[in-house]
Amino acid sequence: MKEVNRYLHKKILVLGLAKSGVSAASLLHKLGAFVTVNDYKPLAENPEAQGLLEQGITVICGDHPIELLEEGFELIVKNPGIPYHNPMIKGALVKGIPVITEVELAYQVSEAPFIAITGTNGKTTTTTLVFEMLQAGSKKPLIAGNIGTVASEVAQNAAEENNIVIELSSFQLMGLQEFRPRIAILTNLYDAHLDYHGTREEYHAAKANITMNQSGQDYFIVNADQEKVMEAAARSKAEIIPFSTSSVLSEGAYVKDGWICFNNEQVMERKNVSLPGDHNLENILSSVAAAKLSGVGNDDIIQVLSSFTGVKHRLQYVGEYQNRKFYNDSKATNILATKNAVSAFDQPVILLAGGLDRGNGFDELIPSLKKVKSLVTFGQTAEKIEQAALEAGIKTIERVDNVEKAVPAALKLSEPGDVILLSPACASWDQYKTFEVRGDMFIDAVHKLK
């Protein structure tokens, strides 16, 4: 860890706990700051806050008292989930108190360079692929952020020879000052999190922050097929490395004559990639670019891409039973994700779908449902999805109570050679605490068949 003196004897407020807040508070305390932690959860129900109290850190729980801002704090480190329209954050900004997220602290203490990945879709898969490729190439990667250990914990133990591979959300990217990744990836941009950001423009601007401190010595890997991504690239000072799923490029990553290529070099035949789906090609191309820029050889890239079957709950291959292949795509909590999942397969698909009713219809799903052989529904939206399926011409539809019962029902409707796909197109909260729990129920049900 770098020697950092900037926080010595500084008054700093950590707003909101969870893992990132606990790590930030502990690190700042270690760096000699006078830290106050403020979390909404009452102290009696807050073991994280109790642990910080035992370290000698001031803890205020149960409320966010606005009068805290009168105590002369020089910096606020906020939980990424706290929006900027929160009264505490608005008040701090009016007073000119800087507001950052824990990722900024991680960068300041890290001896290792960062490879940072963001985008609306594909972040987790791309981050995992980059990590796996660097690991295969003996580049000593460490994984951090939303799918790994908290970044500031990883950074404290990272050495110069490591590479910290980190997935970043738009929430985290709004709280940066100096963060400068050696390699940044912007996979794609769609409308998302508008309840947090307020406007599409603010959301896109937050994503573009990933490159704001890069220089000509750094690389910015971008989706050449998306106009909004290329607008962000035009404002970057980094060396632009494009990728395209639809065009052959003069440089960057692309597909030509059935081969995945980088800078006019054939890396791997696409037919040998184990990860299904055209939408995953974006993730594959951007990760290949990052790996090649990091000095990973083709053999190591091929090893990863020929064996990688997906991140858990994201079009994850679960296994085969009676010549049916089972895929867990529980992370598909919206229509676009399910459309992508269904389009990933050439084989007949038995689709398992349904979940929380957010008031939307499923007309957008109808064109994709035309590829579906049979449908098994569950949850609050079962009737709505069934209506869309009837309009798509699906003749075999069965409704069940939950995901666990959907698996044997799907098996009965299927034939050898079919794909049985959980891709709900809905959030899980009507029946399951998280999409991970829902996906685990699916996996368990598949294993029970065997």
432: CB partners within 8 A, 6+ apart:
403, 438, 441
Q: Collapsing DSSP states into helix, strand and coil, what is residue 115?
A: strand
10 Å Cβ neighbour count for 325?
17
* Known binding-site residue numbers for ATP: 119-125
Binding residues: 119-125
Rounded Cα distance between 206 and 351, Å, is 35
Token representation of residue 187: 């996979």
Dihedral-angle region of residue 346 (phi above 0 means left; psi in -120 to 50 means alpha; beta otherwise): alpha
CA atoms of 355 and 359, how far apart (whole Å): 12
Sheet-wide strand order for 34-39: 58-61, 34-39, 11-15, 75-78, 99-100
The answer to whether 178 and 110 are in contact (CB under 8 A) is no
Residues 221 and 253: their CA atoms lie apart, in Å, by 9
Rounded distance between C-alpha atoms, residue 287 and residue 270, angstroms: 14
The Cα 129–Cα 134 span in angstroms is: 9
Handedness of CA 358, 362, 363, 364 (dihedral sign): positive
Angle among Cα 442, 444, 450 to the nearest 5 degrees reads: 110
